[in-house]
Amino acid sequence: MGIPAEVDDAPLRDPRAARIALGAYLRRLREDRRITAEAVAKSIHASASKISRIEGGHVRCRQDDLASLLDLYALDDASELAELQELAYCGNKIERKSSHERWAPKGLNRLRPLEKAATVLKCYETRHVPDLLQTPDYTRSVIGASFRGARGELICSAEQVDSRVALQLQRQKILTKRDPPRMWVLIEESALRARVAEEAIWRQQIEFLIAKTARQSDGRLSVTAQPGLTLQILRSEACAPAIIPHSVTYLRSNMFNLQDVIYWPTLQAFVLRHSPDEVRRFRETLDRVATLAEPVDHTSDILAAILDSRPLPPSVDIDRKYKHRPTSFTENRAMAQQRQSGRNR
């Protein structure tokens, strides 16, 4: 099971990332040997909850605990032993926490190292422009709006808002690193039209998206476009909200032995799920919702129409959202032949 040669191990130097990777590695070792967490806990004189916290990357794994676990799992590969010891060493380092983290939403400290190591992000957004594609002023407006009372008054300190904004801008750095993740965004038209910020800030945000998705006349991305970014817009008449009731992001990481993750935000937290079945269902559903979205090469034109507050042009094939859709190549060909036969009459 070692670290693949093509994987950049830089994210693993983060103590939290190292703990998550080590825990995933130890869980895989235990499951491969068909040993329960309770049996492991009894063997090394620990509690089952401690084993669960170690495997989840929530706590540090002491060297003596690691030695006991590896002895129980009878791991004798020298390179694997060295890798695990290095992960434990990195995971036990004192973390350098910024002053902003005291205001971080629950779950964000676990999400950030995963985002740093992400190779693929698939995002479905229903409320506003996705976090990773927001301008600083738009971010401040969105975060400020979530801390308003019934009369519009700010119900938190300015420091808390500033810290939330700083943390989000730090998250966005993954898109400007040397090898950014491939990011595929499905966003509701209503989320783009939502005036969560004043007019000038909203317009600046839409113009930013236009620049990030702009294409040249030959179809190639322009110099201002974001490498690896695919953005598709779901028209207001699409039934996507009935299929996925809330915003969600699927994340694939290059952190070895770590399962794919899905997460979504609530008002004060990020909910993360690692269950393979749940992750697979969401990934497949995202793929299905993508078939309801407008083509990628129409994104800039649609954004421009939204910026001008004009009604969108007719969909390329609006009937596809309501009529019977072919489920196979054979059925698709049969339907095409039927349509051609009708035109020839």
pLDDT digits (tens, 9 = 90+) for 225-281: 888 899 999 988 777 777 888 899 999 987 656 778 999 988 788 998 888 889 999
Banded pLDDT at 133 (limits 50, 70, 90): very high
CA separation for the pair 343, 221 (Å, rounded): 38
Helices 158-171 and 136-145: crossing angle in degrees, nearest 10, is 130
Q: Is the dihedral of CA 111, 138, 233, 127 positive or negative?
A: positive
Assign 322 a pLDDT band (cuts: 50, 70, 90). Answer: very low
* Phi-psi region at 281: left, alpha or beta (left = phi > 0; alpha = psi -120 to 50): alpha
pLDDT > 70: percent of the chain: 82
Instruction: Calculate mean pLDDT across residues 43-67.
Output: 88
| Per-residue confidence (pLDDT) for residue 5, from 0 to 100 | 36
pLDDT tens for residues 89-100?
A: 888 887 666 667
Q: What is the pLDDT of residue 8?
A: 43
User: Using one digit for the tens of pLDDT, what is the confidence trace for 180-228?
Assistant: 999 999 999 999 998 888 899 999 999 999 999 887 666 676 778 888 8
Backbone angles phi, psi at 250, to 5 degrees: -100, 135
SS3 content of the chain, % helix, strand, coil (to 5): 50, 10, 35
Q: Minimum mean pLDDT among 99-103, 144-148, 289-293: which range?
A: 99-103
Helices (H), ranges, 9-47:
15-32, 37-43
Compare 102 and 200 and report the one with higher pLDDT. 200
Contact 15, 92 (CB under 8 A): yes
Which of 150, 75, 133, 110 shows the shortest CA–CA distance to 255? 110
Give me the chain's average pLDDT, please: 81
pLDDT band at 312 (very low <50, low <70, confident <90, very high): low
Per-residue pLDDT at 27: 87
Is the pLDDT score of 20 beyond 80?
Answer: yes
Mean predicted confidence (pLDDT) in 38-62:
88
The number of helix segments (H) and strand segments (E) in the chain equals 14, 6
Give the integer Cα–Cα distance in Å for 262 and 244.
13
Measured distance CA(298)–CA(215) in Å, rounded: 10
Identify the residue with better confidence: 339 or 307: 307
Q: How confident is the model at residue 325 (pLDDT cuts 50, 70, 90)?
A: very low
Q: H or E stretch including 186?
A: strand 182-188
Question: Is the domain 110-128+171-321 a CATH 3.30.870 member?
Answer: yes
Query: What is the spatial distance between Cα 345 and Cα 343, in angstroms, rounded to a whole number?
Result: 6
At 1 the pLDDT is: 40
Question: In this model, does residue 3 exceed pLDDT 50?
Answer: no
DSSP 225: S
Q: What is the DSSP string of 49-82?
A: HHHHHHHTTSS---HHHHHHHHHHTT---HHHHH
Residue 89 has a pLDDT of 86
Distance CA 344, CA 327 (A): 25
User: What are the start and end residues of each CATH 1.10.260.40 domain in the chain?
Assistant: 10-91
Classified as helix, coil or strand, 298 is helix
Q: DSSP 3-state assignment of 279? A: helix
- For position 248, what pLDDT does the model report? 94
Q: DSSP state, 4?
A: -
Does 144 have pLDDT greater than 80? Answer: yes
- Which pLDDT does position 154 carry in this prediction? 76
Q: How many CA atoms lie within 13 A of 148 on its CB side?
A: 12
Q: What is the largest CA-CA distance in the chain?
A: 82
| pLDDT classification of 306: cutoffs 50, 70, 90 | very high
Q: pLDDT at position 56, please?
A: 82
Contact between 316 and 294 (Cβ < 8 Å)? yes
CATH topology classification for 10-91: 434 Repressor (Amino-terminal Domain) (1.10.260)
Name the band, by pLDDT with cuts 50, 70 and 90, for residue 168.
very high
Q: Name the amino acid, one letter, at 214.
A: A
Among all chains, which residue has been given the structure tokens 């698709």? 332
Kindly report, as residue ranges, where domains of CATH 3.30.870 are found in the chain.
110-128+171-321
Angle at 181 between CA 177 and CA 184, to 5 degrees: 135
Which comes out higher in pLDDT, residue 32 or 14? 32
Q: What is the pLDDT of residue 323?
A: 40
What are all long-range contacts of 322-329, with beta carbons under 8 Å and residues at least 24 apart? 325/291
